[in-house]
Amino acid sequence: MKTRAFLISTVIICFLSQASLTYGQDSIRTTIKIRQITLKGESGEQEVSLPLRDSLSYINFEIKAVIISGELTVELFDPNGEKYGNFSLAGSANSNNKDADMIRGKTYFAEASGSLVRYVKLPERGMWKAKVITKNAVGVVDFNLTRGVTVLKKD
Partner 1 sequence: MQIRISLLSLIALLSQTTFAQSGLHGQILLDTSIWRPVVYLSLITDLDKMYTMSNDMIIDQVTISGSGKFSFDTKYFPEGDNLFRIHFSKKNDPPATLNIGGKDENHFFLIASNHSNITMKNYSENDYIKNITVIGYYPNNIIKQINEIAGYADSTTLTSSTLKNDLIKSAVFEKLRIIADTCSNPLVSLYAVYKGDFEKNYPVNQQFYKNFLSKWRKENSSYFKNFKNKIPARASLSIQYIITCIFSLIAGFLICLLVKFRKPNKRIFIQDLSLQERKIYGLLLEGKSNKEIADLLVIELSTVKSHISSIYTKLNISSRKDILNLNLDKQDP
* Shortest distance (Å) from residue 126 CB to partner 1: 11
**Is residue 123 at the binding interface for partner 1, with CB under 8 A as the rule?**
yes
**Is residue 55 at the binding interface for partner 1, with CB under 8 A as the rule?**
no
| DSSP H or E run through 20 | helix 2-22
CA distance 105 to 136: 28
CB-wise, 82 or 155, nearer to partner 1?
82
Contacts of 140 (CB under 8 A, 6+ apart): 36, 37, 38, 39, 65, 66
Strands 58-77 and 112-121: antiparallel
Interacting residue with partner 1 among 42, 48, 57, 62 (CB under 8 A): 62
| DSSP H or E run through 110 | none
Interacting residue with partner 1 among 37, 50, 89, 132 (CB under 8 A): 89
CB-wise, 46 or 146, nearer to partner 1?
146
CB-wise, 12 or 103, nearer to partner 1?
103
